[in-house]
């Protein structure tokens, strides 16, 4: 019997190996799982899936140029149903034995056309792919009255491997679809709990949602009993605050996006003309939000509105436990409902003493009051269709910290612009007003930009600010204007550093593109560009940095100091990153990334001995 079982197992493994190789087998047994968000909601939910979802499919070209049908609906439907079973006490499906029972809530789901792209001209045997799923979930109470609708949207990117068949034409797509479906289903679980938290019963009339004081194990918070007992002016407004994190594990981590969602309902018979939602809490956490007060506007009887406070966690959170308070106030500032408290758990950054995320101690006696740094990092954009760089904001924050501690720059000599604070007017103000008023003929100026650039067919390069738009050049920042501003500075040395993605602006495949133009007419700025040509400079989920910036930081902390004299110069950093980055890209990512150093024509070969940092301890480079 054991021999037969071993033989059968061996045959299965051989078939799997023949189908997709060892990497694919590993991926099939290590895919993403649905998160555990706590006990099920004590409701019976009926799930109605529209054919637009269950039969959703699209087409794609394989590497041999043949068209394939990609059936998306069944996998997405199965994953959403599994998520419903984890979210609700019981689930009724059409055609099941329980189909005649009356549910507490009915959820109808339909899908817009899915979007699937594969870059078939990629290097090696892995092709970059992108899958976008858009599902609308509509919630109805037992009487059929609408409770609300929630758009579920997810876009996932991954490199797909070619199947290990003789022709090697098609890609291994199923695990990619399963992971994307899991992310979509995780959103469904979170949004269901926002609308229908434990202890919540849809009202018969469907006009409001009544909350109880049942404590939750998720981030969905009801009003505490102590707050309910507080005397507040009578108001027809009620609200529910919910903390949502990016990966759904209810633990905030460095670089993670978080949302505080507030759902407001007018349960009265009159329109409420003016009210607002206010967010308060510890200052280190509160400063990550671009706004802490959001206006609701007029709210009609029975009407509802959802608002969100959005932030990105910093690289080195100073707190591990905190509380955010959400208050609903009238136009005169008086409370309109008892406030709600959201407990926050923050995962401290794990770093070794020699790791770049462990900010070095300040160098004593090395203050340089005449030198300046402008650090800009964009991990998100106002227009969500612009793909984000995950660690760009954190990279800018860490670079700024290094120049203060190891570079000796006073805090007032460092300007840090991240995400929503890196609007085009913010960048212009720093370049045209702040730097010219500060610098002298002996100043060293470093401008660091982590984010994305867009290149026109003629090769003109534009930086994308937070309020930028791929379809509107007037909302981009031309690199030639940045270079012109830097060229007018009264400074001994100016360095521009770019780590990010270089995009093409033109009809892909039909427009001949000139290479990016990085060097301006003034020719007075030394430039360090993370990659050559078009494409994305690499980011590492292990290192939590862009690869280029990671080695820039290692160089600044002393590894670039080849003569071991305790001073890291521009020339030493240039040599270090051009040596380290290509080797690391090939060994760790099996890809090519070659930084380019563009010397200023007017100062070629000069001032490369300018000192960037003075590390107190010189680490040994690996």
For 530-558, the pLDDT digits (tens) are: 999 888 889 988 888 999 999 999 999 99
Phi and psi dihedrals of 546, rounded to 5?
-65, 145
Of residues 294 and 353, more confidence is placed in 294
Asked if residue 250 has pLDDT above 60, the reply is: yes
Asked if 296 contacts 277 with a C-beta cutoff of 8 angstroms, the reply is yes
Q: Give residue 20's pLDDT.
A: 38
Separation between Cα atoms, residue 401 and residue 471, nearest integer Å: 35
For 338-361, the pLDDT digits (tens) are: 889 988 887 765 444 457 888 887
- pLDDT bin (cut points 50, 70, 90) of residue 297 is confident
Asked if residue 156 has pLDDT above 60, the reply is: yes
For 192-219, the pLDDT digits (tens) are: 888 886 444 333 333 333 333 333 333 3
Asked if 464 contacts 452 with a C-beta cutoff of 8 angstroms, the reply is yes
Asked if residue 308 has pLDDT above 50, the reply is: yes
Separation between Cα atoms, residue 69 and residue 53, nearest integer Å: 15
Asked if residue 249 has pLDDT above 80, the reply is: no
- pLDDT bin (cut points 50, 70, 90) of residue 244 is confident
For 22-36, the pLDDT digits (tens) are: 433 333 334 467 887
The count of C-alpha atoms lying within 13 angstroms of the C-alpha of 55, restricted to the half-sphere facing its C-beta, is 3
Distances in whole angstroms, Cα of residue 324 to Cα of each of 161, 206, 292: 44, 30, 11
Tell me what the mean pLDDT of segment 280-285 comes to: 85
Asked if residue 278 has pLDDT above 50, the reply is: yes
Residue in the block written with tokens 């956490």: 285
Judged by average pLDDT, the poorest of 64-68, 83-87, 141-145, 175-179 is 64-68
CA-wise closest residue to 88 among 73, 103, 109, 110: 103
CA-wise closest residue to 450 among 537, 373, 384, 514: 537
Asked if 464 contacts 378 with a C-beta cutoff of 8 angstroms, the reply is yes
Annotate 166-194 with b (16+ C-beta within 10 A) or e (fewer). Answer: eeeebbbbebbbbbbbbbbbbbbbbbbbb
Q: Give residue 208's pLDDT.
A: 32
Judged by average pLDDT, the poorest of 97-101, 566-570, 572-576 is 97-101
> What's the pTM?
0.54
Q: Give residue 214's pLDDT.
A: 30
For 395-440, the pLDDT digits (tens) are: 999 999 999 999 999 999 999 999 888 999 999 999 999 999 999 9
Asked if residue 513 has pLDDT above 60, the reply is: yes
127-136, 214-223, 578-587 — most confident range: 578-587
């Amino acid at each position: 019997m054991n021999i037969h079982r071993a033989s059968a197992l061996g045959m299965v493994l051989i078939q799997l190996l023949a189908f997709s190789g060892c990497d694919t087998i590993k991926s099939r047994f290590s895919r993403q799982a649905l998160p555990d968000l706590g006990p099920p909601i004590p409701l019976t939910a009926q799930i109605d899936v529209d054919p637009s979802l269950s039969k959703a499919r699209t087409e794609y070209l394989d590497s041999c140029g043949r068209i394939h049908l990609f059936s998306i609906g069944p996998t997405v439907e199965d994953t959403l149903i599994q998520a419903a079973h984890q979210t609700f006490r019981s689930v009724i499906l059409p055609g099941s034995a329980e189909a005649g029972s009356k549910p507490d809530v009915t959820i109808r789901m339909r899908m817009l056309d899915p979007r699937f792209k594969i870059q078939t001209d990629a290097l090696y045997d892995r092709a970059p792919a992108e899958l976008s799923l858009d599902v609308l979930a509509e919630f109805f109470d037992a009487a059929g009255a609408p409770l609300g609708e929630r758009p579920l949207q997810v876009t996932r990117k991954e490199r797909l491997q070619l199947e290990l068949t003789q022709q090697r034409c098609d890609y291994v797509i199923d695990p990619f679809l399963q992971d994307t479906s899991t992310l979509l289903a995780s959103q469904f679980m979170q949004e269901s709990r926002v609308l229908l938290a434990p202890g919540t019963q849809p009202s018969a009339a469907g006009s409001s949602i009544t909350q109880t004081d049942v404590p939750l194990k998720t981030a969905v918070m009801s009003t505490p009993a102590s707050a309910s007992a507080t005397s507040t002016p009578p108001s027809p407004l009620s609200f529910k605050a919910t903390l949502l994190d990016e990966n759904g594990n209810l633990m905030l981590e460095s670089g993670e996006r978080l949302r505080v969602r507030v759902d407001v309902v007018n349960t009265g018979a009159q329109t409420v003309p003016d009210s607002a939602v206010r967010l308060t809490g510890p200052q280190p956490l509160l400063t990550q939000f671009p706004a802490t007060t959001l206006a609701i506007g007029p709210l009609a009887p029975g009407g509802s509105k959802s608002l969100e406070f959005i932030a990105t966690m910093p690289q080195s959170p100073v707190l591990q436990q905190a509380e955010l308070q959400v208050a609903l106030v009238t136009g005169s500032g008086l409370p309109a409902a008892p406030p709600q408290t959201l407990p926050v758990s923050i995962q401290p950054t794990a770093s070794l003493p020699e790791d770049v995320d462990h900010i070095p101690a300040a160098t004593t006696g090395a203050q340089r009051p005449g030198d300046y740094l402008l650090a800009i990092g964009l991990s998100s954009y106002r227009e969500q269709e612009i793909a984000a760089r995950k660690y760009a904001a954190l990279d800018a924050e860490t670079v700024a910290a290094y120049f203060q501690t190891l570079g000796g720059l006073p805090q007032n000599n460092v300007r840090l612009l991240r995400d929503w604070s890196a609007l085009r007017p913010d960048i212009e103000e720093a370049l045209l007003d702040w730097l010219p008023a500060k610098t002298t003929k002996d100043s060293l100026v470093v401008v660091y930009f982590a984010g994305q650039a867009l290149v026109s067919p003629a090769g003109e390069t534009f930086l994308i600010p937070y309020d930028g738009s791929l379809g509107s050049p007037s909302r981009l920042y031309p690199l030639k204007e940045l270079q012109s501003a830097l060229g007018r500075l009264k400074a001994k040395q100016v360095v521009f550093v770019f780590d990010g993605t270089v995009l093409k602006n033109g009809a892909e495949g039909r427009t001949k593109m000139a290479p990016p133009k990085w060097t301006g007419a003034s020719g007075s700025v030394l430039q360090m560009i993370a990659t050559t040509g078009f494409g994305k400079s690499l980011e590492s989920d292990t290192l939590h940095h862009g690869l280029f910036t990671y080695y820039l930081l290692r160089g600044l902390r002393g590894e670039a100091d080849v003569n071991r004299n305790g001073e890291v110069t521009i020339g030493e950093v240039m040599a270090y990153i051009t040596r380290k980055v290509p080797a690391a890209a090939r060994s760790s990512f099996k890809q090519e990334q070659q930084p380019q150093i563009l010397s200023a024509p007017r100062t070629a070969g000069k001032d490369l001995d300018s000192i960037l940092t003075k590390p107190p301890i010189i680490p040994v480079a690996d």
